[in-house]
């Protein structure tokens, strides 16, 4: 029995006693299975030397020299999506979402028998983030790989022969958003691991403080520092003040102090000023790898701060709210963007469940204009979104690969579409893989648990075509919040 397994024997038992299942809606789907598969997906995104317990065995070791061009070790971590590049900004947000899911709904993970897998999924990420911050206080590594040369190939990660340059931010060319999100991720993860691996938790928190100091002292956007590499793929469109506030809030929570509060309040003042200037008053329903506004307010509302803004988020997403700002498809899917809409569905669903938990514990209600809603309306919203993703929709298709009788067969993903090393040991050159991209047949390997981008027209229409990346490409930051959503519904019916 591994140390992680021994820990879980005790911890998971305690978490199970905390389970508060109640009578409620019909369970339309097997949420334990959805939780299990949503975590399994991350094993298909692993970079580096794979562990002996790797379950998706069609994936093999890859990118074992990452970081060498910069004289550092940047092996490991996750490929962000269907290509073979590693970006620290969205990878850190993925870690923050996984950690928050464990913190809030670890009892569901324990009941579903997935706590160990969730912890290992998070640790694979945070181990890389520790490498990305190994040269603090002066440098944070933000990216490995050349996205342009990578996108000019359709190649297995195991065959990768494209350049693997290292891109960093530093004191003269700062990147507050990437350093801030890493700080938030490590702080949140330190809470998730605190009762399970105290030494690792302390290490994460110590590095989170260093990353935050760097992000806050040397303020500036990585768009200006390394925009030639990260843009247009992961440009920061919302500015970096949200990451500074977000990281400060997580550090307050991790340290159980208000040490960072003045920084949080200062950053939020700047955010609100920008809202006034741009007249973008719908920003409180934004939450993604780029924009932390709604998540920030929900997090702070748990300690009685910025309650009005958190309520604005809830009122913005509730279908019956008179102040709703979110649109829905005819089939009931939250629709906000034509590019990977599932990211928004997952992140806002997770926020709704976390905020509902707080409102219920505080014995409060959600006030939207002249209408008041109980907390369970947010749970109902999240459940409807989760059920849609799992197959309760006009197409009858689950948007999770391997879940249900009908699911996407042609996701936009190099490793999944190309023959595995097991099936085709010989090298497949960069340009030779495009015949697999254009092939109309199903992918050769099942990337179990991958959640596709989903319908992107607001009409519930979906093209199962790997060339339609906006609809069929999976990403780590789509799956990460859904881990928490599915974990909640494992042992809650309302």
Helices (H) and strands (E) in the chain, counts: 18, 7
Return the biggest CA–CA distance within the chain.
66
What's CA 128's distance to the chain center, in Å? 15
CB-CB contact of 119 with 196 (8 Å): yes
**Residues 6+ positions from 43 with CB-CB distance below 8 Å:** 54, 55, 56, 59
Structure tokens at 425: 């040991």
* Alpha helices by DSSP H, 231-306: 241-255, 261-278, 293-301
In contact, 88 and 140? CB cutoff 8 Å:
yes
Q: Judge whether 384 and 332 are in contact, CB under 8 Å.
A: yes
Interatomic CA distance for residues 340 and 469, integer angstroms? 8
Using CA atoms, how far apart are residues 198 and 150, in angstroms rounded to an integer? 39
Question: What's the rounded Cα separation, in Å, for the pair 103 and 471?
Answer: 30
Residues with catalytic annotation? 412
- The owner of tokens 């300690």 is 303
């Amino acid at each position: 029995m591994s140390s992680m397994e021994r820990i879980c024997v005790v911890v998971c038992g305690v978490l199970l006693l905390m389970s508060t299942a109640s009578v409620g809606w019909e369970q339309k789907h097997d949420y334990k299975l959805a939780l299990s598969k949503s975590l399994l997906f991350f094993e298909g995104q692993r970079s580096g030397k794979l562990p002996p317990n790797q379950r998706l065995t069609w994936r093999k070791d890859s990118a074992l020299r990452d970081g060498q061009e910069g004289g550092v070790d940047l092996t490991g971590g996750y490929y962000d999506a269907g290509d073979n590049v590693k970006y620290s900004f969205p990878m850190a947000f993925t870690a923050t979402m996984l950690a928050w899911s464990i913190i809030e709904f670890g009892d569901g993970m324990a009941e579903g028998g997935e706590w160990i897998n969730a912890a290992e999924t998070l640790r694979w990420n945070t181990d890389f983030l520790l490498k990305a911050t190994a040269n603090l206080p002066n440098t944070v590594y933000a990216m490995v790989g050349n996205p342009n040369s990578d996108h000019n190939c359709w190649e297995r990660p195991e065959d990768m022969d494209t350049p693997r340059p290292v891109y960093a931010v530093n004191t003269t060319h700062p990147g507050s958003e990437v350093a801030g999100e890493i700080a938030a991720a490590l702080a949140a993860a330190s809470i998730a691991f605190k009762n399970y691996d105290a030494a690792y938790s302390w290490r994460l928190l110590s590095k989170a403080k260093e990353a935050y100091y760097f992000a806050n002292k040397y303020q500036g956007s990585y768009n200006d520092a390394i925009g030639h590499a990260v843009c247009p793929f992961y440009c920061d469109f919302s500015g970096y003040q949200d990451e500074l506030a977000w990281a400060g809030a997580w550090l307050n929570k991790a340290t159980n102090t208000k040490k960072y509060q003045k920084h949080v309040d200062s950053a939020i003042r700047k955010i609100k000023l920008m809202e006034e200037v741009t007249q973008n008053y719908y920003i409180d329903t934004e939450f993604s790898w780029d924009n932390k506004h709604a998540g920030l307010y929900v997090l702070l509302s748990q300690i009685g701060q910025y309650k009005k803004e958190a309520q604005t988020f809830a009122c913005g997403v509730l279908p019956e709210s008179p102040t709703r700002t979110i649109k829905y498809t005819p089939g009931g899917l939250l629709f906000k963007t034509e590019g990977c809409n599932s990211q928004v569905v997952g992140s806002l669903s997770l926020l709704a469940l976390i905020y509902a938990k707080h409102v219920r514990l505080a014995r409060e209600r959600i006030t939207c204009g002249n209408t008041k809603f109980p907390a369970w309306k947010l749970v109902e919203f999240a459940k409807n979104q989760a059920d849609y993703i799992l197959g309760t929709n006009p197409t009858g298709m689950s948007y999770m690969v391997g879940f249900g009788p009908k699911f996407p067969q042609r996701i936009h993903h190099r490793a999944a579409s190309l023959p595995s090393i097991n099936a085709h040991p010989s090298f497949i050159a960069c340009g030779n893989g495009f015949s697999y991209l254009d092939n109309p047949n199903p992918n050769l390997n099942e990337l179990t648990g991958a959640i596709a981008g989903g319908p992107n027209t607001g009409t519930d229409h979906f093209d199962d075509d790997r060339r339609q990346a906006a609809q069929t490409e999976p990403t780590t930051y789509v799956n990460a919040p859904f881990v928490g959503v599915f974990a909640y519904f494992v042992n809650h019916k309302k």
